[in-house]
């Protein structure tokens, strides 16, 4: 048998590699955001009853409770959406898939909405740093202190006046 025809890569092989790379990047992003959500949930749980200050960041109990509630709402709403879609398509929903969907929903509900709220606050609020008036103004001399200009505009008769 000729072995050469089996050694050539087919377009489907390249597509498979691209899909695998996309899936690996998506998994890495999911684990990154899941870790961020986990850490922020622990911080929010610590700030549940009394305000918490971590350096320049101050977390109020109402905001901490809202963060956790949005995460739980996201987890429940995403798993309900996936379950309804699975019922409509007559596809069984496996328990491992349900746990992953709940984790994704929690990340989107807590970290995702918090990021959207922070971006909206930054766009709506003016700059936090006070503007230094002295650094933004130029020291322009007054008009009467300026020397009078020596430049005069030309007229039609300039050539004749210079000759005479």
Average pLDDT over residues 18-34: 94
In the chain, % of residues over pLDDT 70:
77
In the chain, % of residues over pLDDT 90:
40
**Domain extents in the chain:** 9-126
Residues sharing a CB contact under 8 Å with residue 113, sequence separation 6 or more, in sequence order: 70, 74
Residues sharing a CB contact under 8 Å with residue 58, sequence separation 6 or more, in sequence order: 51, 52
Average pLDDT over residues 45-65: 88
What per-residue confidence (pLDDT) applies to 104?
92
Give dist(CA 40, CA 37) in Å, integer.
5
pLDDT per residue over 116-155, tens digit each? 988 888 888 766 555 555 555 556 666 666 666 677 777 7
Token duo for residue 161: 């006046």
pTM for this prediction: 0.62
Give dist(CA 37, CA 108) in Å, integer.
9
What per-residue confidence (pLDDT) applies to 4?
56
Residue with token string 């009853």: 49
Average pLDDT over the chain, rounded to an integer = 83
Average pLDDT over residues 59-79: 92
């Amino acid at each position: 048998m000729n072995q050469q025809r089996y050694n050539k890569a087919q377009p489907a092989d390249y597509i498979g590699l691209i899909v695998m790379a996309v899936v690996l990047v998506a998994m890495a992003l999911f684990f990154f955001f899941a870790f961020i959500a986990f850490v922020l949930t622990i911080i929010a749980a610590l700030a549940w009853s009394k305000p918490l200050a971590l350096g320049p960041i101050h977390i109020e109990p109402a905001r901490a409770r809202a963060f956790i509630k949005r995460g739980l709402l996201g987890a429940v709403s995403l798993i309900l959406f996936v379950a309804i879609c699975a019922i409509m398509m007559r596809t069984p929903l496996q328990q491992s898939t349900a746990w992953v969907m709940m984790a994704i929903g929690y990340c989107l509900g807590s970290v995702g909405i918090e990021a959207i709220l922070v971006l909206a606050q930054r766009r709506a609020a003016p700059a936090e740093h006070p503007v230094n008036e002295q650094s933004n103004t130029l020291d322009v001399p007054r008009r009467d202190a300026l020397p009078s200009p020596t430049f005069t505009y030309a007229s039609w008769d300039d050539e004749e006046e210079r000759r005479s």
